[in-house]
Amino acid sequence: MLKQQRADHVRQRLAELYPETPIPLDHQNAYTLLIAVLLSAQCTDVRVNQVTPALFKLASDPNKMMRVPVDRIKAIIRPCGLSPRKSAAISELSKILVEQHAGQVPADFAALEALPGVGHKTASVVMAQAFGVPAFPVDTHIHRLATRWKLTSGKNVTQTERDLKKLFPRDTWNRLHLQIIFYGREHCQARRCNGKSCLLCRELFGKN
C-alpha cells in the first residue's frame, strides 16, 4: 500500500471499530477539561479520573481555584506525579484566566499555549474537545502508532502532527485522535504488538 492508501484504510477501520469516541478524561466544562489534560502528562487517564473528583469538589472554576493554597492542590494531585509543577501551574493559570480572560478558557491556541503548564498538545485537546475546533493532538502514543503504520517518518510529535494532518480530512481529526488512542490501548500496545500481530498491523503489513 502507498502511504495515503494506508491512511485511508486506518481511517475506515477505526471508524468501524470505534464509531463512538467519548472523551476519556472526566470533566464538566472547558476549565475542568483543561485541568484534567494538564494532569494527564506522564500519568494515565484512569489515575487522573480518580484524582479530579476531589479537586473539582474543592474548586471547579478558576475563581475558586486561584484561592486554594498551592500546597492543598499539590496534596490532592500527588498521585498524578509531578505535583509541585502541576499544582503551581494550576494555581497560576487560574489566576491568569480570571485576570486576563474574564474567568473563561480562551478558544485560542496562542492564548492557551501562553498559560503555565499548557503546551501545544494540551491546547490542541482543549480546542478539539471543548470547542470543536479541528486539531490533531499528538502524544507519544499516537506518534508511536503513526510511525509503526508508516504514516510518518517524523522524528518528533511536531512533524508527526503535520504529516497526519496532510493524510486525513480535516473534519476527521478530532475523532481520529481519540480513535487512535483507543486502538493503541486495546490492540497495539508497545510491548504486545511487533508491528505485524494486531488487526491493523496485520492488514497493513502482514503480507509484506
Answer yes or no: is pLDDT of 50 > 50.
yes
pTM for the model: 0.92
Catalytic site includes residue 121: yes
Q: Which of 121, 165, 166, 207 is catalytic?
A: 121
In this predicted model, what pLDDT tens digit does every residue of 59-80 receive, in sequence order?
Answer: 999 999 999 999 999 999 999 9
Q: What is the pLDDT of residue 160?
A: 96
Distance, in Å, from the CA atom of 8 to the CA atom of 2, rounded to the nearest integer, reads 10
Last-in-domain residue among 104, 131, 158:
131
Phi–psi pair at 173, nearest 5 degrees: -60, -50
Cα–Cα distance for residue pair 136/133, rounded to 1 Å: 10
Mean pLDDT in residue range 187-206: 86
From the candidates 26, 74, 95, 139, which is the catalytic residue? 139
- 119 and 176 in a single domain? The answer is no
- Residue 108 among the catalytic residues: no
Q: Band the pLDDT of 190: cuts 50, 70, 90.
A: confident
| End residue of a domain, out of 131, 153, 187 | 131
For residue 67, the domain's CATH number is 1.10.340.30
User: Same domain, yes or no, for 92 and 166?
Assistant: no
In tens, the pLDDT along 94-152 reads: 999 999 999 999 999 999 999 999 999 999 999 999 999 999 999 888 999 999 999 99
Regarding whether 201 and 143 lie in a shared domain, the answer is yes
Question: By residue range, what is the domain housing residue 63?
Answer: 30-131
Mean pLDDT of the chain: 95
> What CATH number is attached to the domain comprising 149?
1.10.1670.10
What confidence tens digit (pLDDT) does each residue in 90-99 have?
A: 999 999 999 9
Instruction: State the helix-helix crossing angle for 157-167 and 140-148, rounded to 10 degrees.
Output: 60
